[in-house]
Homo-oligomer: A and B are copies of this chain.
Amino acid sequence: MSLRIALLGLLEAVGPASGYDLTKKFEHSLNHVWQAGHTQIYPELVKMAADGLVEASSEGVRGRKIYTITSEGARQLHTWLVEHEPVFVVRNETALQAFLLPLLSTEEAIAVVERIKAGYAARLAVLDCQPADLGQYALRLGLAQVRTGLEWAEETLAALRSR
C-alpha cells in the first residue's frame, strides 16, 4: 500500500514520470522516508495501471514509458493522506543492537556505539546537503531523528566510559 502511495504522491507532485525517473526520486529525495528499487517499482506501476490509478503513455525513446496519475489515483492518494492512522511498527536493527548492548563487555559495547555514532554522523551529512523543495517537512523530521540518534550515541558512550 505505502509503495503505491509514495508513487502516486511523486506523480502528483512532480508530474508525469517514467519508472526510471521514479526510481531516481526514491534514491535521492525519498530515501529517508521510504525505500524501493526498480525491481519493485516497475511491476507495481503495471499493477497500478491495471487498477486505473495511473496511465502509461506509448513508449518513447529507449523504451521509456511515461506514467501519469489519473483522477482516481489522485482521489485515493488524497484519501490516504487525510485518513491514514499513524501506526508504530518499528523494525530497527540499530535499536536491536542497542537493546542487546548489556550482553557485551564495556569495551565491546563502546566499540559498537562508536560505529553506530559514525553511522548517524554519515547519515546526517547526507541529509544536510539534501534539497528541501518537496518533502521539506519530512526532511526536518529526518534530520531531527538522526540528530537524536547522534546525541543518544554520545550520551551512551559517556555512560559506558564512566562505568
Contact = CB atoms under 8 A, between A and B. Distances in A.
A129 interface: no
A87 interface: yes
A99 to B, nearest CB: 4
B96 A9 contact: yes
Interface residues of A, number: 62
A6 B103 CA distance: 12
A86 B95 contact: no
B141 A33 contact: no
Contacts of A112: 81-82
Given A85-B115, A144-B148, A31 B102 contact: no
A33 to B, nearest CB: 4
A34 B90 contact: yes
A120 B145 CA distance: 13
Interface in A95-146: 95-104, 108, 111-112, 115-116, 119-120, 123, 134-138, 140-142, 144-145
19 contacts: A6-B96, A9-B99, A13-B100, A13-B102, A34-B95, A84-B93, A86-B93, A86-B116, A90-B142, A95-B138, A96-B138, A98-B141, A100-B135, A102-B135, A102-B136, A102-B137, A140-B152, A140-B156, A147-B148
